[in-house]
């Protein structure tokens, strides 16, 4: 996320944090979730190291599109994405401001997962 202030990834991170807040009382519709996921898939495809997150985003998107709102599956995908996001935040190439936001996102994903 080098120079992230001008990238699609940074805008998506800001939008996602805004949508999740702290993740404790988040009310996201499946449609809003699909839009956020689609927004993330574009910049992450082809990003070395993001393959696992891309696969999980695609699985979550497909669940939401199908109407299969299986809480256990959604919770597992969110927790996996939180773990991967947290790991990325500790990569040496990630600037500190971006790392801080990635850690916030990981926490929000874990908190949101607890709602399922």
Residue 50 clears pLDDT 60, i.e. is over it: yes
Tell me the angle at which helices 51-66 and 71-89 cross, rounded to the nearest 10 degrees: 160
Per-residue pLDDT, averaged over 51-75, amounts to 92
Q: In sequence order, what DSSP letters do the residues of 43-93 get, joined into one string?
A: HHTT-TT-HHHHHHHHHHHHHHHHT---HHHHHHHHHHHHHHHHHHHT-TT
Predicted TM-score (pTM) of this structure: 0.83
What percent of the chain clears pLDDT 90, i.e. is strictly above it?
46
Residue-wise pLDDT tens digits, 12-24: 888 888 888 766 6
Domains of the chain, by residue range, sit at: 28-114
């Amino acid at each position: 996320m080098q120079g992230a202030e001008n990238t699609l990834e940074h805008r998506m991170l800001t939008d996602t944090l805004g949508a999740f807040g702290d993740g404790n009382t988040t009310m996201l519709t499946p449609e809003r979730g699909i839009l956020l996921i689609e927004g993330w898939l574009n910049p992450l495809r082809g990003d070395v190291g993001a393959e696992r997150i891309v696969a999980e985003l695609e699985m979550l998107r497909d669940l939401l599109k199908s109407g299969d709102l299986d809480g256990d599956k959604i919770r597992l995908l969110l927790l996996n994405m939180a773990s991967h996001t947290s790991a990325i935040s500790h990569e040496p190439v990630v600037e500190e401001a971006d790392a801080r936001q990635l850690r916030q996102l990981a926490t929000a994903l874990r908190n949101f997962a607890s709602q399922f």
